[in-house]
Chain A
């Protein structure tokens, strides 16, 4: 089935550092989404991207929809302790009609104060 390869799997960084993570696939997507999941909670949408090449920011977060429509990245600038959590990329395929989101495996972020 379709897969999203998300990397890195985990990151342990110092407060104030910038963070970068990405997702790649062999399939073409219409939509890329980035979610954050806190322990014991459901995923919360951070940024949604709908056009190839689109670059969108949400505070300290910036995400881009790759030109090839097969990848996306998320940057977090000047990390703070509350950025800790699991970050998921998710894509909705260009083809198909289920409305299904395909999820990456997640990037676990830990921030050392």
Chain B
């Protein structure tokens, strides 16, 4: 298993540009989520999905869209990038939403995004 993969690893955008951050997992996990990490603030939930075709907003969803057309993929779209979206973005997945023994949440390596 490759686990959770994310592309690209680094990205620089200009204000107003759009782009998609890719996330994929090969563990047949139902639950996938996107977090952003900012200095001194830990990780904050952007959007999540409990299965193909089902998505919902997290704590900081504004400026981001997601879709879940397959179990494996959960892309994050920035519609019109702003400097406030400069951050490190992590995708995570788990077998199910409620964490229990043998149902742990795994993180991808992250995408480092800079918006100028």
Asked whether B43 lies within 8 Å of A103 as measured between CB atoms, the reply is yes
Residues of B within 8 A of A48 (CB): 99, 101, 104
Give CA–CA (A104, B42) in the complex, Å: 6
Minimum Cβ distance to chain B for residue A110 (Å):
17
- Cross-chain contact of B99 among A1, A31, A43, A103 (Cβ < 8 A): A31
Residues of A within 8 A of B99 (CB): 30-31, 33, 48, 50, 92, 99
Give the residue among A41, A97, A100, A105 with the most B Cβ atoms within 10 A: A100
Give CA–CA (A41, B9) in the complex, Å: 10
Residues of A within 8 A of B44 (CB): 103
Residue B94 is within 8 A (CB to CB) of chain A in the complex: yes
Which residues 29-77 of A have a CB within 8 angstroms of B? Answer: 30-31, 33, 35, 40-45, 48, 50
In which size bucket is the chain A interface?
20 to 34
Chain B residue at smallest Cβ distance from A3:
B42
Which residues 10-48 of B have a CB within 8 angstroms of A? Answer: 31, 33, 35, 40-45, 48
Asked whether B110 lies within 8 Å of A41 as measured between CB atoms, the reply is yes
Chain A residue at smallest Cβ distance from B99:
A31
Residues of A within 8 A of B105 (CB): 33, 45, 101
Residues of A within 8 A of B104 (CB): 33, 45, 48
Residue A82 is within 8 A (CB to CB) of chain B in the complex: no
Asked whether B42 lies within 8 Å of A4 as measured between CB atoms, the reply is yes
10 closest pairs, A vs B, by CB?
Answer: A103-B42, A99-B97, A42-B107, A103-B43, A100-B45, A31-B99, A43-B107, A42-B109, A42-B110, A105-B42
